[in-house]
Structures are given as structure tokens and as C-alpha cells.
């Protein structure tokens, strides 16, 4: 699904590593019958390994990502150090409270809790602090790495809040200064550019979804 942040994670890794692939987008509401043969629970993304014997399909964005990183190790995205790798995975897990707090606002849910954005900022503080603690432009260091790519899809979507919320919400530079610099840097990454959709398009999609008829295809209107 072209607007799915979890699918985007996998697209980013495929592009970052230059792995030849073919994308098929599906309608998540009106799922094609054949899709459950690839993803039994109907979740996206699913990656079929067409050059592997029996052409198995993998699901779960993080599992796919780690598989691709091990299988195509020319550009290593996960740390090779076992402990650092575990700590990066824990940091990626710590993004779940950010997502769950902001999700109702991001999806223009009229019954979003009134403290949703407050909780979102509290959860995001962890990442501002972690960038400060690591003292590097990217979470991975001097170059982009796995944490950067795995949390990016939501940062691409946050600017749509300015267009969809009454208070024209934006991340405040005095609180999220390092993350805003990081966002600027990451947005210039080549793989990120290849999968990018702009804030207006994300806002339009969420509006269509709230109205009960998600317009998946507007991503392709060019």
C-alpha cells in the first residue's frame, strides 16, 4: 500500500541497497483474494523472494529488513557489533509509543484523545535525547543507518499535521532541534527521495480515508 509507513521501510532498504525488485500495490480495504497466499494475515508489506527456491514470501518490515541486510551485506545498515545492534533494535521498538500516540491525529480521527500530541511529544523526547547522547548527525553515526531508515516514514508524514490540524501543528525547534536538523539531512538521502510523497499528498490521503473511501491511487497522480 503506497501510503503504508511499514511498506515504505522495506522500499527504503531495497532502494538503499540497490536490490532489483518489482512493486505491487494493493488496496488495503478491498484486498485482492490472492494476497493472503503471500501474507496469511493480510498485512503489508510482504516480500516474495522470486530468485530463491520455492519463492518464499517474508512479512513483517523489521524481519524483512534484517534479512535483506544480512543477504546483501555490501552496504551494512545494522551495526555489526552484537550489542549495538540489540540497542538499535530496542530504540526502533521505542518508536512504537511515538506512532501510537500520533496515529489518531495523523489519520485525522475526530475522536483523537485531546492529549495525543502531548503524549506524542513526550515519546519523541526519547529520540531527541538519544541523538544528543550519540552526538552524531544520524542515529547511525556520520552516515545513515538502520534506525534512521526505520523511523523515517513517520517523519515524512509529520509535516502533514500542519495542514490537517486546527492549530497547524509543527515540531518546535526549541524542543526538537536535533531531530529537525536530522530530518533535513535524511530528506536529502537518495533512497528517501525515491519513496518520498509530499505533505499535501499525505494530508489528502488521510482526508480521503477519514471520509470512508481511502484514495490509494492519488499517490500516482503525478
Footprint on this chain of a copy of itself (rule: CB under 8 A): 40-41, 49, 52, 56, 58-60, 63-64, 66-67, 70-71, 82-83, 85-87, 89-90, 93-94, 97, 126
In angstroms, give the least distance from the CB of 103 to a copy of itself. 18
43 vs 162, which CB is nearer to a copy of itself? 43
Ramachandran angles phi, psi of 48, nearest 5°:
-90, 130
The residue among 154, 94, 93 whose CA lies nearest residue 122 is: 94
In angstroms, give the least distance from the CB of 85 to a copy of itself. 8
91 vs 186, which CB is nearer to a copy of itself? 91
User: How far apart (Å, rounded) are the C-alpha atoms in residues 50 and 198?
Assistant: 32
Whole-number Cα distances in Å, 202 to 57, 130, 157, 219: 28, 28, 7, 9
In angstroms, give the least distance from the CB of 72 to a copy of itself. 10
75 vs 211, which CB is nearer to a copy of itself? 75
> DSSP 3-state assignment of 67?
helix
| Grid cell of 114 as nine digits | 485531546
Q: What is the largest CA-CA distance in the chain?
A: 53
| Grid cell of 52 as nine digits | 530463491
46 vs 105, which CB is nearer to a copy of itself? 46
Catalytic residue among 1, 4, 105, 191: 4
User: How far apart (Å, rounded) are the C-alpha atoms in residues 152 and 13?
Assistant: 12
Which residue is it, cell 551495526?
A: 79
In angstroms, give the least distance from the CB of 1 to a copy of itself. 19
4 is catalytic: yes
Name the residues annotated as catalytic: 4
Amino acid at each position: 500500500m503506497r501510503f503504508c509507513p511499514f511498506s515504505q521501510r522495506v522500499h527504503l532498504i531495497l532502494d538503499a541497497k540497490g536490490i532489483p525488485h518489482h512493486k505491487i500495490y494493493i488496496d488495503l480495504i478491498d484486498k485482492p483474494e490472492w494476497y493472503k497466499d503471500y501474507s496469511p494475515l493480510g498485512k503489508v508489506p510482504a516480500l516474495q523472494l522470486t530468485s530463491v527456491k520455492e519463492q518464499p514470501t517474508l512479512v513483517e518490515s523489521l524481519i524483512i529488513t534484517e534479512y535483506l541486510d544480512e543477504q546483501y551485506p555490501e552496504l551494512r545498515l545494522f551495526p555489526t557489533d552484537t550489542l549495538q545492534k540489540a540497542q538499535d533494535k530496542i530504540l526502533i521498538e521505542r518508536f512504537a509509543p511515538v506512532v501510537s500516540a500520533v496515529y489518531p491525529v495523523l489519520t485525522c480521527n475526530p475522536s483523537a484523545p485531546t492529549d495525543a500530541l502531548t503524549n506524542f511529544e513526550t515519546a519523541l523526547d526519547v529520540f531527541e535525547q538519544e541523538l544528543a547522547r550519540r552526538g552524531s548527525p544520524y542515529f547511525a553515526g556520520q552516515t545513515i543507518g538502520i534506525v534512521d531508515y526505520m523511523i523515517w516514514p513517520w517523519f515524512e508524514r509529520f509535516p502533514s499535521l500542519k495542514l490537517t490540524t486546527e492549530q497547524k501543528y509543527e515540531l518546535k525547534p526549541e524542543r526538537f532541534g536535533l531531530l529537525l536538523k536530522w530530518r533535513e539531512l535524511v530528506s536529502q538521502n537518495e533512497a528517501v527521495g525515491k519513496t518520498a510523497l509530499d505533505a499535501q499528498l499525505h494530508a489528502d490521503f488521510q482526508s480521503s480515508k477519514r471520509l470512508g473511501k481511502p484514495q490509494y491511487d492519488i499517490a500516482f497522480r503525478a
